[in-house]
Chain A
């Protein structure tokens, strides 16, 4: 059971928007910075968002991150078939001194 809770799956039609929630606590999200990763099975995971809402070079602005209190959200707009992947939130838990990932959310493009 992960310390960070994500929905198992979300889906939408091409061109639409999906949001993925990541719920934690004051020990992790509430007092630390959140990152998001895209993982296409069979490939290496890719950093999508860091510092709650920053995109690394090369990540399109269709991907955005936000945080409020003990929850974070990843939004994907203009959904494309190439966005089908598993998405994970991550941060540090200051009480346990461990890095934590959410359980992952599978995005399906209908």
Chain B
């Protein structure tokens, strides 16, 4: 069964940094594009970033560009999100998601990031 498990969510102060991780199993990780999607409290789904199977193509939402960095390690079946210069509006449940440009077919259960002083 295809499985994604996120980790690394904590409480951090504004301006701080954090790295989220996502461990994958049950599918060909190095053939798959992957996303980070977040849901702020009481709000809808918000796409964050996409990385291609080999890391050659990377895309970011305007709200995180220049502050967040997506990366992957195909030898470890792992996806990462380095989050720098965090803002209170980055507070959200962050999902790791398998999928390409047009659909996202496997979702993790998410990890919670809280940015607060």
Interface residues of A (CB under 8 A from B): 2, 32-35, 37, 39, 43-47, 50-51, 56, 86, 88, 90-92, 96-104
Contact = CB atoms under 8 A, between A and B. Distances in A.
Contacts of A101: 37, 44-47
Contact of A90 (B62, B104, B108, B109): B104
Contacts, number: 64
Nearest to A49: B103
Interface of B: 35, 37, 44-47, 50, 59-62, 95, 101-105, 107-110
Contact of A47 (B47, B62, B101, B105): B105
Given A39-B45, A44-B109, 11 more contacts: A34-B102, A35-B103, A44-B95, A44-B108, A45-B45, A50-B103, A56-B105, A90-B103, A96-B62, A98-B62, A99-B35
A78 B61 CA distance: 37
A75 B24 CA distance: 32
B105 A99 contact: no
